[in-house]
Structure 1
Amino acid sequence: MPMITGMEKDRLTRRGLRLAWFIVVWDLIEGAVAITAGLIANSTALIGFGIDSAIEVFAASVVIWQLRAGAASRLRPALRMIALTFYALAAYVVFEAVRDLIAQDKAGESLAGILLNVAALIVMVPVALAQRRTGQALGNPVLVAQSTETWMSNYLSISLLAGLGLNTVLGWWWADPVAALVVAGFAAWSGHEAWKEAGEHQAEHPGGS
């Protein structure tokens, strides 16, 4: 990575903080709408998406905590905290989706859920791109990991649109819990990547925390 000046680093850090704060505000609203729509439609995938929004709020808060300090010692614990939230999401969604498949618990139609995920893709794809570019320019793995989480949320939107659309148009009730399992797979993979990144940081900086 090319060296950057102190002024450029400050500018990139401010941009990273603005992106993180935007995610906090967006995901608080998105999560409330998703969970409400999921409860109304009895949709595990939508509820899981809402919980993912809450996890993204926490992860963005971790980014804010790390960027404000500007301390390399905070990189490893920040990455580990983000990884644990991914694992928690994966475990919850797998449990709920398998339960719904076994019980054949049918989700209702959710136009609000479909519209929410379309809006999420329109808004968050540019945010994910900006996060990754900023994190790479800063050489900050926590911000890059947060961008991966934002991309994961975008993938979840696509899988949820497929599941909700099939349920609404064709009545395929099982598409919703199957889409939820896709959510869990992305969450587990992202958790593994963040945890591995934390281990690599520890190996490169054995004296750090």
Structure 2
Amino acid sequence: MTQDVKLYKTAFALALFTIIYNVAEGIVSTYLGFEDESLALFGFGTDSFIEVISGLGIAHMVLRIQKNPESDRDRFERTALKITGTAFYILVVGLVVSSIYNIWTGHKPLTTLWGVIISSISILIMWTLVWWKRKVGRELDSAPILADANCTMVCVYMSIILLMSSGVYELFKIPYIDSLGTLGLAYFAFTEGKECFEKANSDKYCCCD
């Protein structure tokens, strides 16, 4: 087995792990977010489910470029990107409307402790994935894999927002901080949706730089 084949197998394994992790994170986060009435945690979990769709496209992409590194996006990847982008836009609307409603009504979560725990775990795992994907991408000199690593950084940013908003609320019980954190998540969801449609309509791979 050549070194390149081993690296592509690693890239595919990382893509599969990302999908599995996002499914688990989505289930846990949406459940606990609903139970604790934390909109930020619930929105974070919903975003994880959308990342699963994106992850399927990435896994397919790795298999494609392994066969032909010079090939362009195929129909499956472009469709996955459009579906992902649409889902992100729908999520943005839901998060913004819900945040405004919570601020208007003065709603506060019961607790945001789980937001602190889940976001801390997510930062550690996602940062490790970014490092590993960049390592594989550099060794293969693969722009698509490096672009995927850069896009995974958005998950780190969103986890940091959840950690900050959950941590501040849990410590100081500042009103509306959970809703403000949710608006921060909505911003990154919007940028992700925009980038999905841009990539679906071109063959460029750079993103989230």
Given the alignment, which residue of 108, 114, 120 partners 2:122? 120
* 1:128-183: CA deviation from partner (whole Å, max 9, x where unpaired): 23224445645353x45543442122111111111111211111130101001100
Bigger drift between 73-82 and 15-24 goes to 73-82
Q: Deviations over 1:26-79 (max 9, x none)?
A: 122211221122112101100011111111122111212233344524254444
Partner of 2:68: none
Give the structure-1-normalised TM-score. Answer: 0.81
Q: Which moved more, 1:161-170 or 1:147-156?
A: 147-156
1:194 matched to 2:189: no
Aligned residue pairs, count: 196
Equivalent pair of 1:76/1:201 in contact (CA under 8 Å): no
The DSSP-based 3-state class of the residue aligned with 1:72 is: coil
Pairwise mapping of residues 19-98 of structure 1 onto structure 2 (< 5 A)? 19-70=14-65, 72-74=72-74, 75-98=77-100
Give the whole-Å Cα distance in 1 for the aligned partners of 2:87 and 2:6: 29
Counterpart residue identity of residue 139, structure 1? S
| Structure 1 moving runs of 4+ over 6 Å | none
> Which residue of 147, 163, 166 corresponds with 2:165?
163
The RMSD of aligned alpha carbons is 2.5
Q: Structure 1: which amino acid aligns with 2:94?
A: Y
Q: 1:174 to 1:121 in 2, by over 3 A?
A: same
Matching residue of 1:17 = 12
The verdict on how the C-alpha distance between 1:198 and 1:28 changes in structure 2, with shifts beyond 3 A counting, is: closer
In structure 1, list runs of 5 or more residues that go unmatched: 1-5, 203-209
The question of whether the paired residues in 1 share the 8 Å contact of 2:99 and 2:179 is answered with: yes
For 1:139, the equivalent position in structure 2 comes to 142
Cα distance change on mapping 1:89 and 1:146 into 2, 3 Å: farther
CA pair 106-193 structure 1, distance change in 2 beyond 3 A: same
**d(CA) in 1 for partners of 2:23, 2:184:** 23
Report the residue type matching 1:147 in the other structure: A
